Amino acid sequence: MDITKLKEMKSVQERVDEAVNKSHAYQADLNAMVSFIDPSEQIENLKHIDPQAPFYGVPVVLKDLVNMKGTVTTGSSGILENYVSPYDATITEKLRAAGAIIIGKSSCDTFGMGGTNMTAWTGPVMNPYDLTRMSGGSSGGSAVLVASGVVPMAIGTDTGDSIRKPASYNNIVGLKPTYGRISRYGVIPYASSLDHVGVFTRNVKDAALSLEVLAGRDDKDMTSSQLPVEAYAKLLNSDLEGKRIGIIQNVIDAIQNRETLNLFKDLCDQLTAKGALVQSIHLDEKLMHAFLPTYYIIANAEATANHANLDGLRFGVLHEGNSMEESMIRSRTAGFGKLLKKRFVIGSYALFTENQEEVFRKAQKVRRLIVEDLKRVLCEVDVVIAPASAQGAPKFDDVSIDQLSSEYLIAENYMALANFSGYPSITVPMGYVDGLPVGVNLTSAAFTEQLLLNVALAVEESTGIKDMIKEPKR
């Protein structure tokens, strides 16, 4: 059921108690929570909130990158395991003003750096559809808490596809709006030019409602947009008559799984029957093969700069040494995992003065070419579409995929398009492959969230997959 119906059917105490109890009960199987927050004070404060507020008494979860005053915000890292937030992020303030009850912080790849949710300091997050499989990352904890029915909405962040890929693996909706549509003030960054705040829900209507609550100008985040916020939920309309939908043929050609391709073809046939003008479009193949290296260079260079202050002296857990330098080395060595160190090495290399022009600046130029290519395509169609993943969630020990193959470089990484460009993008459930959920992804031009949500609603109506809950079972 959607959030509006949930509010009608259960009291505040009932829905919060149910969420808290489930979050504890599922923790052993899913390992999705980093910290739990006592909701009693927030429930008491509801007496100051209008009962008609959109999230009145609705339990939600924050990704463990989002500050909430007086709570631990670790970024799922070791170096910040003792960090207590001294202030609220803007989205935390907005959620509480809308009546939401925040019951905890969800696990993520450390500082959002990863696509598996296997790098969190608290251990990997399991997929409720198969506990031997990945949740996807970096926002995997939030994704599985929505998918398993703990909360109807959870906050995620998306730097490459960190909301939209976990949404695909967990049979839920994952929305990343336009860059600047939601404030990032108070959210621990990964890569500032690529980071977006977004949401997980179990249906498109709740995603639209969540965007209404979270969107808007924030003077504390100078990258946030001045554009007014639309009534996204009220304006939802699934009419596809005359809508131009472009299939990213490069992605289709790269996918090897016939079951995924058949699901996608059936969906496109249904969209055509609803009046959409569905056609194939092609992006520059050479540029698509450059997505991943371009992303790694830009994202990790920005991450290296953003996290230079995590040294145990200014921030983080301090490990004493015989000198300041030794203390910093010990603190960072103990507080950062293997993958994080690898990414910082890549970022540092790209930022060395002698490498900036040939590595970092060149990556920025390639990014510009990628964005221009997407812009070209979106002059021909309203929305581009493709499967969000070539198949269901991989097993934790799966090393079979060739990371130099087109299926990996293109089909599994193309959604970075929406981060390079900053354009809005959404993943919604498409169907099942070998019993595992697989989603479909849609992307449109900047600040066309209403259009994007409308087409996503039409997809949801075509598949009939919404409000799905999968309780974890061993």
pLDDT tens-digit series, residues 70-84: 999 999 999 999 999
Q: What is the pTM of this model?
A: 0.97
pLDDT of residue 315: 82
% of the chain with per-residue pLDDT over 90: 92
With contact defined as beta carbons under 8 Å apart, do 35 and 193 qualify?
no
- 138 catalytically annotated: yes
Could you give the CA distance from residue 466 to residue 421 in angstroms, rounded to a whole number? 29
User: Mean pLDDT, to the nearest integer, of 353-362?
Assistant: 95
The phi, psi pair for 228, rounded to 5°, reads -65, 155
Q: Which of 23, 135, 138, 389 is catalytic?
A: 138
Closest to 420 in 3D by CA, of 244, 248, 249, 302: 302
Annotate 388-399 with DSSP letters as a single string: SSSSSPPBTT--
The phi, psi pair for 34, rounded to 5°, reads -95, -40
- Work out the pLDDT band at 116, boundaries 50, 70, 90: very high
Where along the chain do its domains lie? 3-237
Annotate 191-238 with DSSP letters as a single string: -TTT-EEEEEESSHHHHHHHHHHHBS--TTSTTS--SPPP-TTTT---
Closest to 60 in 3D by CA, of 220, 236, 213, 217: 213
H, E, C per residue of 74-93: CCCCCCCCCCECCCCCHHHH
Could you give the CA distance from residue 11 to residue 18 in angstroms, rounded to a whole number? 11
Q: Which of 7, 22, 63, 243 is catalytic?
A: 63
- 35 catalytically annotated: no
Q: Which of 139, 162, 389, 425 is catalytic?
A: 162
User: Mean pLDDT, to the nearest integer, of 108-130?
Assistant: 96
With contact defined as beta carbons under 8 Å apart, do 80 and 87 qualify?
no
- Using the predicted structure, report yes or no on whether residue 400 has a pLDDT greater than 80: no
User: Mean pLDDT, to the nearest integer, of 156-182?
Assistant: 98
pLDDT of residue 217: 98
pLDDT tens column, 438-451: 999 999 999 999 99
pLDDT of residue 409: 86
How many other C-beta atoms lie within 10 A of the C-beta of residue 369? 14
- Using the predicted structure, report yes or no on whether residue 216 has a pLDDT greater than 70: yes
Residue 179 one-letter amino acid: Y
- Work out the pLDDT band at 408, boundaries 50, 70, 90: confident
pLDDT tens column, 367-376: 999 999 999 9
pLDDT of residue 402: 61
In the CATH scheme, what is the code of domain 3-237?
3.90.1300.10
H, E, C per residue of 265-330: HHHHHHHHHCCCEEEEECCCHHHHHCHHHHHHHHHHHHHHHHCCCCCCCCCCCCCCCCCHHHHHHH
User: Mean pLDDT, to the nearest integer, of 451-466?
Assistant: 98
